[in-house]
Amino acid sequence: MSCAGLVPVMALAERAGMSQLVAEKVEITNAPIPSTGANPAGKIAAIVAGMVAGADCIDDLDVIRHGGMKRLFSGVYAPSTLGSFLRSFTHGHVLQLTAVLRAMLATLAMTTPVLAGAEQMTYVDIDSLLRRVYGKKKRGARFGPAKVGGYSLLLRGLSPLVATISTPLAAPLIAAMRLRGGNAGSARGAAGLLAEALNTAKASGARGMILVRADSAYYAGTVVSAARRAAARFSITVTGNSAIQAAIATIPDDAWIPVRYPGAVEDPDTGKLISDAEVAETVYTAFAGTSHEVTARLVVRRVKDQNHTDVLFPVWRYHAFLTDTALSTVEADLTHRRHAVVETTFADLIDGPLAHLPSGHFDANAAWAVCAAISHNLLRATGSTASIFHTTARGATLRRHLVCVPARLARPQGREILHLPGYWPWADAFAGLHDAATRPPPAA
């Protein structure tokens, strides 16, 4: 068998109650063919297992039937069966599956060190991406903005909205995910999704400060109010307008503090790398005259415009964000810029199960996206259980080191034994993972 690592991974999933949660929360009674909606727990487990092993489309789910996999696991389904099952989903069923995602993440956080440090500081990052599709008959596929090679283009696709939770010690986990049409505005549905993510973060052990971070696409009163209702702090990039420019103009010249970034960062306007800047702050009232009015700190970062280096006085470009944290000006700027960590989650999803949105049915793709989020969280829990190195490793590394491991299945005296490779660099990490995942849970 080629994916022996699925043994401890799926054991972790069962310890987190995945099958029980699906059986309790997902009920498909109106499928066009009744048999396609039967046994959702087994079918969701098969889809997640295939995604963990590297499947990025429905046909790729056949990876769980190769070699001795059917002898080792029960409830192994054919890709055609799983595809029909996904096509039986409606919007309500997708919401049921999303509830499984949230509950399972809370259990994983309690039974594994996947969210270490949440009792002190937790970050909730919200962002969206556009997954390009090519079939004109895909439901929900619309033209939306995307960047390719640094250029803004309109591409036909579908737009997942994602909220992640992370800590200074833990890599991002997906707390909430929603698939939208390709032409959806970035902030559409963001307030509701953020409220779900904040509730999930608290259920997952976030007892310290929770900080919501987002870019300017989510600078909206509803988003800020959703964070404040949950007693969370916020740090959101503001959109440039005359009121913001007037507030920046009130900052005295001697208030600017030099800040040097630990690594070069990309300038959002020019695409060039910068390593130093100056920061300052003032007080600003956002969304004045509305029910979402809030007065908070406007932290401003300025960098020299490289297009005007030959003038007598420097020309500055300004980038500002609104925050209500008590961090120093420099630390608030550094913390806000770490919002880019959400891009590592997008990279893992694109390099894995979200390489494609495989169905022509919108709700089937929405269910596929939620299963991708479950598999992402399960991989992160696998890495955090295996070793310190794998705690923050990329998804492709986790699959290569811990999941896609060849083994020979033997059954001496009816007892199943996996013979793994000798002289294997990650044998100790795998052994620790296997022992932790298959050890009986402690008595209540």
123-168 pLDDT per residue, tens:
999 999 999 998 888 899 999 888 776 677 888 999 999 999 999 9
- Listed in sequence order, the residues at least 6 apart from 81 whose beta carbon sits closer than 8 Å to its beta carbon are 36, 43
SS (H, E, C) the chain: CCCCCHHHHHHHHHHCCHHHHHHHHCCCCCCCCHHHHCCHHHHHHHHHHHHHCCCCCCHHHHHHHCCCHHHHCCCCCCHHHHHHHHHCCCHHHHHHHHHHHHHHHHHHHHHCHHHCCCCCEEEEEEEECCEECCCCCCCCCEEEEEEECCEEEEEEEEEEEEEEEECCCCCCEEEEEEEEECCCCCCCCHHHHHHHHHHHHHHCCCCCEEEEEECHHHCCHHHHHHHHHCCCEEEEECCCCHHHHHHHHCCCHHHCEEEEEEEEEECCCCCCEEEEEEEEEEEEEECCCCCCCEEEEEEEEEEECCCCCCCCCCCEEEEEEEECCCCCHHHHHHHHHHHHHHHHHHHHHHCCHHHCCCCCCHHHHHHHHHHHHHHHHHHHHHHHHHCHHHHCCCHHHHHHHHHCCCCEEECHHHCCEEECCCCCCCHHHHHHHHHHHHCCCCCC
Q: pLDDT at position 43, please?
A: 95
User: d(Cα 147, Cα 68) in Å, to the nearest integer?
Assistant: 43
**Assigned domain for 228 exists:** no
Whether 12 shows a pLDDT value over 90: the answer reads yes
CB count within 10 Å of CB 266 equals 12
188-210 pLDDT per residue, tens:
999 999 999 999 999 999 999 99
The tokens for 22 are 């699906």
Domain check: are 147 and 254 in the same one?
Answer: no
Whether 346 shows a pLDDT value over 80: the answer reads yes
**Assigned domain for 444 exists:** no
| pLDDT tier at 272, thresholds 50, 70, 90 | low
Domain check: are 142 and 252 in the same one?
Answer: no
Task: Write down which residue in 321, 348, 372 finishes a domain.
Answer: 321
**Assigned domain for 332 exists:** no
Domain check: are 19 and 150 in the same one?
Answer: yes
Contact 213, 124 (CB under 8 A): yes
| pLDDT tier at 313, thresholds 50, 70, 90 | low
Q: pLDDT at position 324, please?
A: 94
The tokens for 402 are 């811990």
Task: Write down which residue in 268, 292, 321 finishes a domain.
Answer: 321
Q: pLDDT at position 146, please?
A: 81
Q: pLDDT at position 74, please?
A: 81
Q: pLDDT at position 26, please?
A: 94
**Assigned domain for 425 exists:** no
**What's the predicted TM-score (pTM) here?**
0.92
- Listed in sequence order, the residues at least 6 apart from 220 whose beta carbon sits closer than 8 Å to its beta carbon are 187, 190, 191
Domain check: are 103 and 181 in the same one?
Answer: yes
Domain check: are 137 and 13 in the same one?
Answer: yes
| pLDDT tier at 270, thresholds 50, 70, 90 | low
Q: pLDDT at position 45, please?
A: 95
**Assigned domain for 419 exists:** no
Q: pLDDT at position 114, please?
A: 94
Domain check: are 23 and 150 in the same one?
Answer: yes
Domain check: are 127 and 39 in the same one?
Answer: yes
Instruction: Say how many Å lie between the first and final Cα of the chain, rounded.
Output: 36
55 compared with 308, residue with greater pLDDT: 55
Q: pLDDT at position 438, please?
A: 84
Averaged pLDDT, 258-267:
70
Q: pLDDT at position 265, please?
A: 62
| pLDDT tier at 79, thresholds 50, 70, 90 | very high
Contact 213, 198 (CB under 8 A): no
| β-strand partners of 434 | none
Q: pLDDT at position 147, please?
A: 75
Averaged pLDDT, 106-114:
94
**Assigned domain for 229 exists:** no
Contact 159, 380 (CB under 8 A): no
User: d(Cα 76, Cα 65) in Å, to the nearest integer?
Assistant: 7
Compute the mean pLDDT over every residue in the chain, rounded to the nearest whole number.
Answer: 90
Q: pLDDT at position 318, please?
A: 87
Q: pLDDT at position 259, please?
A: 81
How many domains is the chain built from?
Answer: 2
Residue in the structure block whose two tokens are 């608030």: 332
Which residue range is the domain that position 70 belongs to? Answer: 5-215+340-403
Task: Write down which residue in 272, 291, 321 finishes a domain.
Answer: 321
Q: pLDDT at position 260, please?
A: 76
Domain check: are 77 and 17 in the same one?
Answer: yes
Averaged pLDDT, 216-221:
94
Whether 109 shows a pLDDT value over 90: the answer reads yes
| pLDDT tier at 387, thresholds 50, 70, 90 | very high
Averaged pLDDT, 297-314:
75
| pLDDT tier at 317, thresholds 50, 70, 90 | confident
Q: pLDDT at position 308, please?
A: 60
Domain check: are 75 and 35 in the same one?
Answer: yes
Whether 277 shows a pLDDT value over 90: the answer reads no
Domain check: are 167 and 252 in the same one?
Answer: no
Averaged pLDDT, 432-441:
85
Domain check: are 160 and 293 in the same one?
Answer: no
**Assigned domain for 440 exists:** no
Domain check: are 175 and 284 in the same one?
Answer: no
245-256 pLDDT per residue, tens:
999 999 998 999
List Cα–Cα distances, 390 to 11, 308, 379, in angstroms: 18, 45, 10
**Assigned domain for 227 exists:** no
Q: pLDDT at position 444, please?
A: 46
